Amino acid sequence: MAYIKGIDISNNNGSIDFSKVASDGVKYVYVKATEGATFQDSTMETFYSGSKDNGLKVGAYHFLVGTSTPEAQAQNFYNKIKDYQWDLVPMMDIETNFNGISDYVVRFITEFNKLSSLTLGVYSYTSFISYLTGIKDTIKNMPFWEANYNNDPWNLPGSFFTNRVGHQYTETGNVNGVSEECDLNSFTEGVLLDNASKAGEWILQDGKWWYRHSDGSYTTNGWEKINGSWYLFDAKGWMLYDWKQNGSNWYYLGRSNDGAMKSGWVLQDNKWYYLGDANDGSMKTGWQKIDGKWYYFNSNGEMQTGWIKYNGKDYCLYSNGEMIHDTIMYGYKFDSNGVATKLR
């Protein structure tokens, strides 16, 4: 899975030139729709049209407060967004703590699901998740967009959420076309409504697997997240497995009875590969910094050991693949970047 650059905006962001936003690599835009039981953001329509006119995917969010009933808030949100064609999962923004917050969240979800067939997601801060542990069984599988301003996309701690689809990693980002600093995000395709997790069942037919949704539909030519794992389906809807290329990236999808996209380190035929994290999974090549250490992978994705030459410079990698640096070994001095210079 590839990561997608996104922003989220509201009436606090002033005027926006969405053609410039699109030219800066932004693909996904979240706009504020509502807050509480009565507030409706007057810029939503303008931002929605500007995004759509420039080929950007758009989603809406509601800011949950404790001063009005969650049912009235869900109705306000639904009434504001119901007549638009959204691309991204609508989000409930939970970041203000008040008495009964967990009960409010459950009641908002229940009411929204009565009003709309759209998949609902949760936005919250890493530091706020602990307030929601009492209802984790209700929300743990919902699409989760996490705010953590570490300026390091997808470097996030574990939590009970199983379906993290976005990371808001700074609130002081700069994007062409936005006159002021704004929130920057990195999303997965799981935030798309078309890719939102759907209930269904696995079916084995003629020795091949496919996943039938409760409404009878099934995914073709693309990814789907099922029970917390990503799967890739071909043009006929069959689950793919083994090594497969999708776009410009290679993925390892396990065995014929598995198919879930693999991540992290993978050993095959005595060769090590690195496939990114659970939301990425693409085979890495070239220099990669993993857990604070540098490794080099050739064009086939195989981790290298021993001596290599890169851009005319010599490097040496331990037997575990880690780059040698800041030391003297084998008659060479290795600098902080790992470049080897022969000692006289």
Catalytic residues: 8, 95
Q: In what order do the strands lie in the sheet with 340-342?
A: 327-329, 332-334, 340-342
Query: Three-state SS for 176?
Result: coil
Q: What are phi and psi of 250, to 5 degrees?
A: -105, 145
Cβ–Cβ < 8 Å for 266, 253: no
Q: Where do runs of H (alpha helix) occur along the chain?
A: 18-23, 44-53, 70-81, 101-115, 136-139
How many CA within 13 A on the CB side of residue 43?
16
The sign of the torsion formed by the CA atoms of 36, 38, 41, 45 equals: positive
How far apart are the C-alpha atoms of 170 and 151, rounded to whole Å? 6
What's the CA dihedral at 119, 30, 228, 270 to 10 degrees? 150
Cβ–Cβ < 8 Å for 41, 11: yes
From the CB of residue 150, how many other CB atoms can be counted at a distance below 10 Å? 12
Q: Length of the chain, please?
A: 344
How far apart are the C-alpha atoms of 17 and 19, rounded to whole Å? 6
